[in-house]
Amino acid sequence: MKKTRQIALSAAILTASVMAAACSTRTDRVERITENGVEVVLNRAQPYRVKGAPTSLRLEEELTIDTEREDLAKLGVADIWGFDVNSSGDIFIFQPPMNTGLSVFQFDGRGRFLAAFAPKGQGPGEIQWPIFHKISADDGLPVLDMRTKKLLVFDKQGAAVRETAVPLDVRGGSLLLPMPNGDYLYRKTEVDPKEEYASLFMTYSVIDSEFREIKELDRVEYPHPFGASKVRVPLPLTAWELARDRVYLGNADKGYEVRVYDLAGNLIRKIRKEYAAVPFPEDKKRAILKALESPDLAPIKDKLDFPSSSPPFQHLFCDDEGRLYVMTYETGAKPGEYLIDIFTAEGVFFARTSCAAHLWADLYAPGSPTDSWVTARSGRLYAAREKASGYKELVVYRMIWESASHDDH
């Protein structure tokens, strides 16, 4: 009888071991394939348990910079068109291009005002119609003036340290971002010059210091609003990030896929993920229709073709550790919040968090005039959001990483 019990116990232990191994294989093994010599990381809908990595991210609100404050209004901070953060934790808030005063307002990590610079004007260090970018790896702040076709770079004290004439097509939605190797990440909108209302193309390219194209990274086609019989919304623009020595591009037309390039424009990885389709919200439809109420835009209003579901994501960014964050359209823990998927530097989906961020352009997703909705730097997450009053505020959260209490499988 004792021997029979020992055999039964051994069998039970063996069965449990096999089940644990199967469970580990089923839940923690990330599938990777190769397409045309490029690694593709295939993530499931739920996060993986990654050895040594946390399992969740909690955001604790630390401070806000509120444009409804009277003292900020007196300084000239009327709106938040975008923002970024440098390596010292200083926050730079960009004003809308129609602003008549200074374009950039600098605050320290505690939200205290430090300086304002980039005045409206035509002289050295002045801007006519600014397009703001990310702060570069050396803490320079590049600002593209699409009216005078020049690229200004300001240092962390707000002094214009470089001014470069730009012999390129630059207009609303353009991007010209200096990269650490001296080249640029360039985005432009193209239209066939032979046809007045032909299709439009949004292209991303790597160009050299002489503004010559090295390699095209992506090209997205969408109908000209006045020429097409139907206009699908949101328009299929791309989300992007330049972090360390990598360029990240996400094109919603390709599904939930983020492509990773080196600075020379070589595709080195694709990150894919299963996702839940989110019905296109009725309030978003109403907002788009309201945005087209002017007589000039009325012809577009009757052509709108609303989708049944939202795009798989709306924004992406990286932190100092190389982790990738992808903001989805899935509703978060609180009203107005969206779920953010978090990936390791190698492209493995391992955690999620929830955050509210203002959506800048109802007609476009992903993408915005500045591409600056939410970012992470030095253990802090920064997000611009709209208050019930209509004013915008920049919220700073402390990022608290947590691990599950039970052991990994």
* Structure confidence at residue 81 (pLDDT): 85
The pLDDT tens digits for 223-274 are: 777 788 888 777 766 789 999 899 999 988 899 999 999 999 999 999 999 9
Average pLDDT, integer, range 327-353: 95
pLDDT computed for residue 174 by the predictor: 84
Q: How far apart are CA 328 and CA 353, in angstroms?
A: 11
CATH code 3.40.50.720 for 38-402: no
User: Exposure of 12 by Cβ count < 10 A (0-12 exposed, 13-18 middle, 19+ buried)?
Assistant: exposed
Q: Are 377 and 358 in contact (CB under 8 A)?
A: no
CA distances from 185 to 150, 176, 177, 264 (A): 15, 6, 5, 10
Confidence band, pLDDT 50/70/90 cuts, at residue 25: very low
In whole angstroms, give the CA distance from residue 151 to residue 226.
31
237 phi/psi in degrees, rounded to 5: -90, 175
The structural domains of the chain, with segments of one domain joined by +, span 38-402
pLDDT digits (tens, 9 = 90+) for 127-136: 988 888 789 8
Res 293: pLDDT: 82
407 band by pLDDT with thresholds 50, 70 and 90? very low
User: Cα(162)–Cα(284) distance, rounded to whole angstroms?
Assistant: 41
Q: Which of 198, 177, 315, 305 is nearest to 242 (CA)?
A: 177
- pLDDT per residue over 169-225, tens digit each? 887 678 899 999 999 999 988 876 667 677 888 899 999 999 999 999 998 887 777
Nearest CA to 320 out of 137, 159, 108, 187 is that of 137
How many of the other CB atoms lie within 10 Å of CB of 114?
14
Identify the band that residue 116 occupies on the pLDDT scale cut at 50, 70 and 90: very high
- Among 287, 259, 256, smallest CA distance to 274 is for 256
